[in-house]
Every structure is written in C-alpha cells, then in structure tokens.
C-alpha cells in the first residue's frame, strides 16, 4: 500500500499540531498548510473590531477550499501534503476528510 498523500492533523489549541505538522511535512518531503499564517496574511488587516466565530469560520472555509485545490494538484504529482487547520467544526473535518 502506498503512503497517504494527504495528512490531516487534528487537535485542540496548544496541543502541538503545528510542531507535529512541520516535522511530518519534513519527513514526507511534502507541503504543509497551516491555517494561522493564511488567516493572518489574508484577513487580519481587514478584520472587524469584534471578530465573531461566524466571520472567522467563513474565512477559514475559503482558505481550506484553496488549500484543497493546491493539495489536489500536489497529490496528482505524487507529493504529500499536511493540513494543520485546526478542524474546529465537524463539518470542516468532514469536508477535508471527504476530499482526502
């Protein structure tokens, strides 16, 4: 059986997901998608004074959609990817698990 090309890392805040994801991406020679830098780069400067869960999750979902697009391209070329996205909701976990 071939090694999986898409890895999903799930855990609570401060559990070590990013540390583990970095190491895993290095071990497999793959790409790592971490939601924190994406959110900071794309949305932090434009965020409202009071950030709601709904506001955040709508943007997380957009990022995950784009991450899946790139991960699919990488997988079609035999390159592994690691998702360090947090997977806050069951729907978010299911979306990426179904994709993977």
d(CA 17, CA 14): 7
Residue 30: which domain range? Answer: 6-43+55-99
| Residue 30, in any domain of the structure | yes
| Residue 22, in any domain of the structure | yes
| Residue 39, in any domain of the structure | yes
| Residue 82, in any domain of the structure | yes
* Residue pLDDT, tens place only, 47-86: 888 989 899 889 988 999 999 999 999 999 999 999 998 8
Looking only at the bridges linking them, the beta strands covering 6-10 and 31-34 are unpaired
pLDDT band of residue 100 (cuts 50, 70, 90) is confident
Domain count, the chain: 1
HSE-CB for 46 with a 13 A CA cutoff: 7
| Residue 50, in any domain of the structure | no
Q: How far is CA 5 from the centre of its chain?
A: 14
pTM recorded for the entire structure: 0.85
9, containing H or E segment: strand 6-10
pLDDT number for residue 95: 83
Q: Which two tokens stand for residue 49?
A: 């004074």
| Residue 1, in any domain of the structure | no
pLDDT number for residue 19: 95
| Residue 15, in any domain of the structure | yes
């Amino acid at each position: 059986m071939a090694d999986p090309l898409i890895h999903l890392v799930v855990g609570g805040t401060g559990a070590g997901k990013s540390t583990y994801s970095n190491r895993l991406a290095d071990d497999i020679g793959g790409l790592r998608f971490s939601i924190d830098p994406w959110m900071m780069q794309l949305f932090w400067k434009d965020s409202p004074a009071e950030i709601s869960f709904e506001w955040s999750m709508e943007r997380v979902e957009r990022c995950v959609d784009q991450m899946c697009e790139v991960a699919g391209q990488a997988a079609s070329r035999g390159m592994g990817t690691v998702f360090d996205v947090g997977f806050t909701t069951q729907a978010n976990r299911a979306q990426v698990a179904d994709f993977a």
